[in-house]
Amino acid sequence: MQSNVFNFWQPVFPQNSLSERRVKSFVLNFGPQHPAAHGVLRLVVQLNGELVERADSHVGFLHRGTEKLIEYRTYLKSLPYFDRLDYVSMMTQEHAFCIAIESLSKTVSHTALYVQIRVLFDELTRIMNHLLCLSCHSMDVGNLSPVFWAFEERERLMEFYERVSGARMHAAFYRPNDIDWTGLNHQFFLDVTLFSRDCFKTLTEIFTVMTTNRIWKSRLVNVGALNTSDVISAGATGPVARSTGLKTDIRFLKSETYAHYWFLSVQGYLGKRGDSYDRFLIRIREMYESLNIVFQILTNLTTLATDEVTSSSHEQVSFFSFFNALYSEKAAKLNRNTKYTSMESLINHFKHYSEGIRVPRGFVYKSVEAPKGEFGVSLISDGTSKPYRCKIRTPSYHHMQIMSRMSQGHYFADLVTILGTLDIVFGDVDR
């Protein structure tokens, strides 16, 4: 009879049964290479079983010293750095830097045309940001279909970026007291109109699919809830703050507004519970409202007749005649395109770009309502063509402070949901 080694094996059972054993708290690293970490985020999570007791955020893996680099470059050469902070909300950050320079120089010469076009691109950028936030968040949670719909619309928006600036993401489109007029023609605005119509249908499909999905709602409702005191103590803004019912939208504050939003018919939205589902609904509604703003601006541009573009008389012009006037002889001089045909203009342009613009001494802080929240730029000028100090206030950095508060008592899997609704980009955090 052959012996079997398994005949001598005896299983060893623990002294206590499974019901009597206690699960001790342990620490787990989430990131910085996790695909759902929205960048290079490291969360040191203290767990009690699957429940989160504490989540400490560790940042700094993407630090580039942007604020210090800006102090060694002229104002114009510093502009592209702002595209690379929150690399999903590019033009809104350029806008904040430009209005800070304009406020210091006290040479604001904006016409209605300048303001309307800046607002147009700000709202297109807001749609681009929210589409990425909602689609990637839904993918992290397990809903894949909205990604394909949203990214198709984002592709069209990045084509608009490329047509006016030559770059799909890092546009460097805004200028102090100016914008780059090169790609603005009647065909561009006609395409924007067609995009707005199609995007409205896409948003309706996304909204319907996600709000009628009971699994999606179960993953978001009452998860990561906040109250107004949490938001105020952390300095949170944007959809995160408005989900608690706090009115923090700079666009609609007449004392702080930067682009005359009160002339438009715009409605703001506030949440009640302050949870992840409220933040999702607010971003959906903000995209609808941004499309509404785009439609209003395109309508207003058909009736704008400014001295710089058309004639000295304030006459009503049609849609196509207005934008054809941008490429008239007078508009070409306004756009300083003569630098390509005149030696004197070329020399002036070279000195203007190499030496930069001199900004008077002073201090200023200006902010805009970026898609993620309040984005502010603080400038100290010493009268030269380079900023003496530049400090940037970014929304994502403040939102990271409430990560531990939002995740306490929730399951470890809910961390992905909470991170997605915070909408964090780490170029915005580390700077």
- pLDDT band of 126, cuts 50, 70, 90: very high
- pLDDT band of 212, cuts 50, 70, 90: confident
Between CA 367 and CA 349 the distance in angstroms is: 29
- Each residue's pLDDT tens digit, 381-418: 888 888 899 999 988 888 888 888 888 888 888 888 88
| pLDDT over 50 (residue 327) | no
- Each residue's pLDDT tens digit, 233-270: 888 888 888 888 888 888 877 666 677 777 788 787 88
> Which of 90-94, 315-319, 322-326 has the highest mean predicted lDDT (pLDDT)?
90-94
376's tokens:
């502010």
For 104-118, 120-134, 207-221, which range has the lowest pLDDT when averaged over its residues? 104-118
Q: Are 388 and 382 in contact (CB under 8 A)?
A: yes
Selected residue with higher pLDDT from 301 and 370: 370
Between CA 233 and CA 398 the distance in angstroms is: 10
Please, what are the domains in the chain? 65-397+415-430 (1.10.645.10)
Query: pTM of whole model > 0.85?
Result: no
3-state SS record for 187-230: HHHHHHHHHHHHHHHHHHHHHHHHHCCHHHHHHHCCCCCCCHHH
CA atoms within 13 A on the CB side of 341: 5
Selected residue with higher pLDDT from 294 and 346: 294
Share of the chain above pLDDT 70, in %: 83
260's tokens:
């005359």
Q: Say which residues have a Cβ less than 8 Å from residue 341's Cβ, sequence separation at least 6.
A: none
pLDDT at 317: 40
391's tokens:
């400090």
Residue type, 418: I
- pLDDT band of 310, cuts 50, 70, 90: very low
pLDDT at 315: 41
Q: Are 191 and 169 in contact (CB under 8 A)?
A: no
Q: Scan for tokens 């600036």, then name that residue.
A: 165
Tell me if residue 68 falls in helix, strand or coil: helix
pLDDT mean across residues, the chain = 79
Selected residue with higher pLDDT from 363 and 110: 363
**End-to-end C-alpha distance for the chain, whole angstroms:** 75
